[in-house]
Amino acid sequence: MESALLTACLVLAGVFRYSCSMIVVKILLGLVGLGVVVFVHELGHFLAARAMGIEVEAFSIGWGKAFLKRKIGGVEYRLGVFPIGGYCKMKGENDLRDKSAASEDGVFTPEPGGFYAAHPFRRIVVAFAGPFFNVLFAVAVFSVIWGIGFETPTLENRIVLVSDISGDSGYPATAAGLRTGDRIIEIDGKPCTNYHDVQQAVALNPGRALPFTVLRDNKLINLTVTPEMDKETATGKIGVYFWTDPVIGRVIPDSPAAKAGLQPGDRIVSMEGMDFPYSAALTTIFAGREDVPETVRVEWERAGQQYAGTLDLAETGTLGIEWQLPVYKTPHYGFFGAIAKGASETWTTFAASVKSLTFFFKGIDFTKAVSGPVRITYMVGDVATSGFAESAGSGLRSLVEFLAFISIALCVMNLLPLPILDGGLILLFLVEIVRRRPVPPRAVAVFQTFGVVLIGGLMLVALFGDILFLVNQG
C-alpha cells in the first residue's frame, strides 16, 4: 500500500552516489534494515486482507522486477531484485482512483472480492494491521533483548554545565541553579539512573517546568528546570554535558595517542597546561581555535605514576582515544517478565513519538529536525556499523533495537489522518460508516490529491535536509 512509496524512496536513497565509501556501506546496511521494517508492515496488510476475505493478487518480498514468482492459492508470491521491504497488492485497491471505476453519475462500482467491495469495518482492519504489526515487531524485539539480557556502556547521570565550558550562562540548567558535578537523581517524580533517563525526560518536555532532585555534596536538593526547544533537533535541552571521568577505555592503533604511549586505563590529568577533571574539558582546550592544533601537550597518570608526552595531530586531527564508560547490566527477566518489559518499552516509545509530533508546530528547523529516507537509512547503517565495531553481538543488538524504534515511528506516522496514509484511509472508512454510504469518488480524489501534495512537499524538504546532512558527514 502506501509503504510502496516509502520503499521506492529508500531504493533511491540506496543508489545515491556519494564519494565516501563508508557512507555508501552505511546506506546499504540501512536499506536492508529498513527493508525488514517495511516488510513487517506489508505482512500485516497481507494477513489481515486474507483474514477479511479480500483477494490479494500479489505479495512481494523485495522491490522491483520479480526474478522468481509462484502462484499459490490465488496469490502470486514474488521475490524482487531489490531485497528491501516488499508490497501487498490487493484486488481493486486502486479502483477509487481509477476514473473508469465510476459511472457517469459518480456512483462507485467496486470489483467483487476487491478491497472496496468489503465492508468498511473490514477495510479498517486491513489498513490498521500494517501499523499494528510494526508495534508487534517492536514488542517482539524488545522482549527478546530484555529476555536475553545485555551489557552496554552508558554515561552517568552526573552533569557538566555547558556554561562552565563555553562561558555563556544563558542556559536553563545554569539559570535554575544546577552545578557541574551534580548527580540528577529524579526528574518529574521519575528516577534517573543514567544519562538516557535524563535525556528522555528533558527532550520530551521543552517549555515545561520540571522538578529536579539532584545529589550535591551528599545532600539532596530540589530545583525546577524548564528545558528550551532546540529547533534543530525538535527536542528540549537544558545546557549540560554528561560527566565522564577522563580515563581512557581504548586507544586507536597508530593514532597520536598510541604513538605517544598512552594506554587503556590511563587517566588524563592535564592538557595544554589546563586541568582535566572530566572528558568534556576537551571542548575547553580547543575552544576558540579555528583549526585543530598540530601538537597537544598531555599529562596522564598510570598506576600512581605521572607521565607526560606530546601528541602530534597534524595528520589525523584527532587524539585517537575513547573514554572508558560505566557498563550497565540489565536485570534478568523470565519469559513473561521480558514480554511485559518489551510491551512497556514499546508503549513508552510510542507515547514519546506521538508527543514529539506536537513539536512540529513550535518553529523548528525542518531541514535539520525532520529526517527523510536518506538520513534515516544512513542512521540505521551507522548504528549497525558502530555496534559491529565493538562486537557481533553488540552490533546485532544495536541494529534490531534501533529498527524497533523506527518501526514504532513508522506506525505513528502511518496512523496520522492524512490522505494516502493508513490513517487517512481509516478516516475515510469511518466517514463511510457514519454516512452509511460510500464517500463520493470525486471528494476522495480531492482528499488524496491534497495528501500527495502535502506529503510530497514534506518529502522534498526532508530530502533537501538529508543532502545537507550527508555533505556534512564528508
Q: Which residues carry out catalysis?
A: 42
C-alpha angle 266-272-273 in degrees, rounded to nearest 5: 90
Please list the residues that pair with 321 across neighbouring strands.
Answer: 251
CB-based contacts of 194: which residues, under 8 Å, 6+ apart? Answer: 154, 155, 156, 157, 326, 328
* Long-range CB contacts (within 8 A, 24+) of 49-52: 49/88, 49/90, 49/115, 49/126, 51/125, 52/118, 52/122, 52/123, 52/125, 52/126
Give the three-state DSSP class for 183.
strand
Compute the distance between CA of residue 14 and CA of residue 459 in angstroms, rounded to an integer: 16
With 0-12 / 13-18 / 19 or more C-beta atoms within 10 angstroms meaning exposed / middle / buried, residue 386 is middle
Q: Going by DSSP bridges, is the β-strand pair 235-237/228-230 parallel, antiparallel, or unpaired?
A: antiparallel
CB-based contacts of 127: which residues, under 8 Å, 6+ apart? Answer: 1, 45, 422, 425, 426, 429
Q: Hey, what's the cell of 455?
A: 506529503
Which residue in 457, 428, 456, 454 sits closest to 97, CA to CA? Answer: 428
With 0-12 / 13-18 / 19 or more C-beta atoms within 10 angstroms meaning exposed / middle / buried, residue 378 is buried
